[in-house]
Structure 1
Amino acid sequence: MIVVTTENIIGYKVKEVKGQVFGLVVRSRGLGGTLLAALRSLIGGEIHEYTSMLEDARKQAIDRLVVNATAMDANAIVMMRFDSSEIGQTMSEVLAYGTAVVVEKV
């Protein structure tokens, strides 16, 4: 599956647009990670626990995006984007979305 953030894929032509597609992940930080992050925030700098959690969530969101596009019989996703938000004090939502298409080599 080709996944790009651009509208076009060099060397390919969009043959069919299947429609919008997304992959959604909601993650909880957990008590241990929240306490450790709170302590690190007092000192300043990167909070590695959150960075790792969000990187994993983005990878999982892309995996779900690809599964959904495959179910639509697409072979590529164009204009892929991420969106994220907080749910309450302890949960983060990561959404990967784009347009599922069928492409062929030019």
Structure 2
Amino acid sequence: MLVSNIEIIPGRKVIKHLGMAQGNTVRAKHLGKDFLAGLKNIVGGELKGYTELLQEARDEAVQRMVDQAKGMGANAVINVRFSTSSVSAGAAELFAYGTAVVLE
């Protein structure tokens, strides 16, 4: 499955648009990581626990989007975008979406 954030795949022709494919996940902060992040805010620097959490969330959302696209009969997802939103205190959603297509 090809996944791209641009509207075309160079050298390939879109022969069928299947619609939007999407995937999401909602993740909550870990109390221990949240405490350590609070300490890190005092001295500055990267919050590695949150970086890892967001990377895992992105990977999961993309995999769910790809699974949905495969179920639609696609062999690629183009124009992929990400969105995040706060769901509740301490929890956030990561949403991946794009256009499921069939390429030549």
Question: Matches of 1:87 and 1:49 in 2, distance apart?
Answer: 19
**Higher mean C-alpha displacement, 32-41 vs 95-104:** 32-41
Structure 1 partner of 2:55: 55
Structure 2 partner of 1:5: 5
* TM-score, normalised by the number of residues in structure 2: 0.96
Question: Matches of 1:38 and 1:91 in 2, distance apart?
Answer: 16
Structure 1 partner of 2:46: 46
Question: Matches of 2:79 and 2:51 in 1, distance apart?
Answer: 24
The answer to whether the aligner puts 1:28 opposite 2:28 as a matched pair is yes
Q: How many pairs are equivalent?
A: 104
Corresponding residue SS for 1:12: coil
Q: Which amino acid aligns with 1:87?
A: V
Displacement after TM superposition at 1:14 (Å): 0.5
Structure 1 partner of 2:98: 98
**Deviations 1:12-31 (Å, cap 9, x if unpaired)?**
10000000110101011121
* TM-score, normalised by the number of residues in structure 1: 0.94
Structure 1: which 5+ runs fail to align?
A: none
CA RMSD, aligned part only?
0.8
Corresponding residue SS for 2:13: strand
**Deviations 1:40-77 (Å, cap 9, x if unpaired)?**
11111111110110011101111111000001011000
Structure 2 partner of 1:17: 17
Displacement after TM superposition at 1:34 (Å): 1.0
Structure 2: which 5+ runs fail to align?
A: none
Displacement after TM superposition at 1:88 (Å): 2.2
- Moved segments of 4+, more than 6 Å: none
Displacement after TM superposition at 1:87 (Å): 2.1
